[in-house]
Amino acid sequence: MPLGQRPGDKSESRYCGVETEFHDDMPHLLTESLSGGFDFIVAPLIDPSYRPSSTSNGGSGSLVLPVAASDLILSPSQWSSHVVGKISSWIDLDSDDEKVRLDSEITLKQEIAWASHLSLQACILPPPRRASCGNYAKCVNQILQSTNNMQLWLRVPLEKSEPMDDGSANANSDFSGGRMFDSWEWWNSFRLLCEHHSQLCVVLDILSSLPSNNSIGRWFGEPVRAAVIYTNSFLTNARGYPCLSKRHQKLITEFFNHSVQIVISGGLLHNISGESIKALPANDDDSHLEVMPTRHALRPYLDYIAYLYQRMDPLPEQERFELGYRDFLQSPLQPLMDNLEAQTYETFEKDIVKYSQYQRAVCKALIDRVPDENASTKIMVLMVVGAGRGPLVRASLQAAEETGRKLKVYAVEKNPNAVITLHSLVKLEGWEDIVTIISSDMRCWNAPEKADILVSELLGSFGDNELSPECLDGAQTFLKADGISIPSSYTSFIQPVTATKLYNDVKSHKDLAHFETAYVVKLHRVARLAPSQPVFTFTHPEYSKKSNERYKKLCFEIPSDSGSAVVHGFAGYFDATLYKDVHLGIEPSTATPNMFSWFPIFFPLRTPLFVPTGSPLEVHFWRCSSASKVWYEWCVTSPTTSPVHNSNGRSYWVGL
């Protein structure tokens, strides 16, 4: 029974599971859990008392594992949809005791083989028992190489010890070589040993005490599939029902937003005999809960988790539109080299926010250029360069009507297919006396007169990556000396991110070129490790004939309470000033609300970069050009050095 349903939300986080002990009667166990409201169980597949070395096969060469029963007790769909296997917690593949180690290796392989036979979607691996887990990872990596579709979820506690005021560590700290314990480093070491395998994921054990928000934030870029919350982590509200601290509530909500499933584990610790909580989603007050009968002992905790899910705000329309694009790599558009298709125009033209900002900018420019006393007589020349199918033409004419100013408009467009639509639009709207359509590349058009205002929408996700500088440098030849360009300037930004899914998607191509390509992507399951910083700025008009090539060195400081981190690449954004105080952009701290024309850009690193606590991250970015193309190069020089990516534009470039 899903926790709830928000419009457009079909993520796995709607389903909640329960962790169970080994049970001889799996059908009863599953029926009890499903009828109690849970969607799946996390269950041991083999009797935990089993040890291969203590089992005699009588010399027959055969061995019957002590599993709950045969695979026939449940249907294939039940095994696949409602059971997550739990590998025996006693195994220790890095034990100094050879007998324990060998027993562990045999058992791990046997249990995974049985789970694969049952067609389970996933099995949970027990946490590493020590920082050095080389043999454990080696065995898991071997299994991953031969497993078809089943995922292996490594279980780790969400824990990072912090120093106390007196300089000592918390009571639960585990010092290794003088360092405080950080479970993220367990995970990072393990996945490095397993070569970042895409079927290796994480299950987080949520404890009653949580690390800092920055430390937690690292996990949102990792492949976290489930979070186990124990009943002893729940508090008791005024009415005696289980509830969670505000920090735990916020964390669970973030998990929901990142498609992380919740699993409840432990025994009933709240004395609610025969009763359960039914959530009322409208209020933030834990006392607004109803009571109803139940059969499952842990139903009160399930209902509280459902309450947290149901009180979340509905997904905004924009988010629902973007769901299918989350963490999906797309090649950036090349509108200068290629002619856009009708569907692409159609998508961007629906962005009402973008064009309302342009209309505001043109309004302000017209008011500044034409005093009220000249409004009825002075005609301003406005050129829309890269007019597409006409949305900026419409926005400019609406600005003229709003301000009571007069316009003469030139719509310059190189795409002959879009020009057909422009002619139809002008005729339909009766703009023949106002709008002149020019079918030409703006860089080589000989304008019959100079413009007062030059309007363009040539910006890409990284600002200049669709060659706005080169295009506007050509177009400004027909702008008056005191003319206005809208936009007047734009700046690109980057920030380091952990993005395991994106890295694995790039790695799956198994070539260098894809690691040296920038992608447009709706970032979702990423950890933003530090605030973004500006890279390249372009201003228009630009009469100094300054080169459009650029170089920037940046130094990022990852917050010290985050702990160590891994950088898979850099997220890129832009912020543009259209005119004076009218801006447009996707840089997170200043992003224009409800605008969907641009997703961020992602620059991957060929090798994920480990950044120890307190180490600065030094990054270099270049914008390079030749007679026929523009491209970016990037590298890291601290804490370690990477190769320069995309040297000479060998893998990725934008055609002039």
DSSP 176-200: BTTBPPBHHHHHHHHHHHTTT-TTE
| 475 φ/ψ sector (left φ>0, alpha ψ -120 to 50, else beta) | alpha
Spatial separation of the C-alpha atoms in residues 318 and 593, rounded to whole Å: 10
Q: Is 441 annotated as a binding residue?
A: yes
Q: Which two tokens stand for residue 613?
A: 């606590």
DSSP SS3 for 450: coil
Q: Is 50 annotated as a binding residue?
A: no
- Which parts of 414-564 are beta strand (E)? 435-439, 451-456, 479-486, 489-498, 519-520, 527-528, 533-539, 550-557
Query: For residue 639, is the peptide bond before it cis, meaning its omega torsion is within 30 degrees of 0?
Result: yes
Spatial separation of the C-alpha atoms in residues 97 and 340, rounded to whole Å: 65
Q: Which amino acid is at 543?
A: Y
DSSP SS3 for 305: helix
Active site residue 373: no
Give exposure, 483-492, as e/b (b: 16+ Cβ within 10 Å): bbbbbbbbbb
C-alpha separations of 123 from 1, 137, 146, 201 in Å: 22, 15, 15, 10
Strand pairing category for 276-279 and 261-265: unpaired
Instruction: Answer for the pair 8, 29: CB distance below 8 angstroms, yes or no.
Output: no
Spatial separation of the C-alpha atoms in residues 467 and 465, rounded to whole Å: 5
Q: Is 345 annotated as a binding residue?
A: yes
Q: Is 595 annotated as a binding residue?
A: no
Q: Is 354 annotated as a binding residue?
A: yes
Q: Name the catalytic one among 466, 470, 516, 633.
A: 466
* Phi, psi dihedrals of residue 247, rounded to the nearest 5°: -65, -40
C-alpha separations of 100 from 51, 92, 96, 137, 429 in Å: 9, 7, 8, 16, 82
Instruction: Answer for the pair 569, 521: CB distance below 8 angstroms, yes or no.
Output: no
Spatial separation of the C-alpha atoms in residues 357 and 110, rounded to whole Å: 62
Active site residue 587: no
Q: Is 1 annotated as a binding residue?
A: no
Q: Name the catalytic one among 457, 470, 587, 633.
A: 457
Among 86, 80, 55, 81, smallest CA distance to 68 is for 86
Q: Report the 10 Å Cβ neighbour count for 296.
A: 18
Spatial separation of the C-alpha atoms in residues 554 and 619, rounded to whole Å: 5
Report CA Rg, the chain: 30
Give exposure, 167-197, as e/b (b: 16+ Cβ within 10 Å): eeebeebeeeeebbbbbbbbbbbbbebbebb
Instruction: Answer for the pair 192, 169: CB distance below 8 angstroms, yes or no.
Output: no
Q: Distance of alpha carbon 398 from its chain centroid, rounded?
A: 37
Query: Residues at the annotated binding site for S-adenosyl-L-methionine?
Result: 345, 354-355, 413, 441-442
Active site positions, annotated: 457, 466
Binding residue numbers: 345, 354-355, 413, 441-442
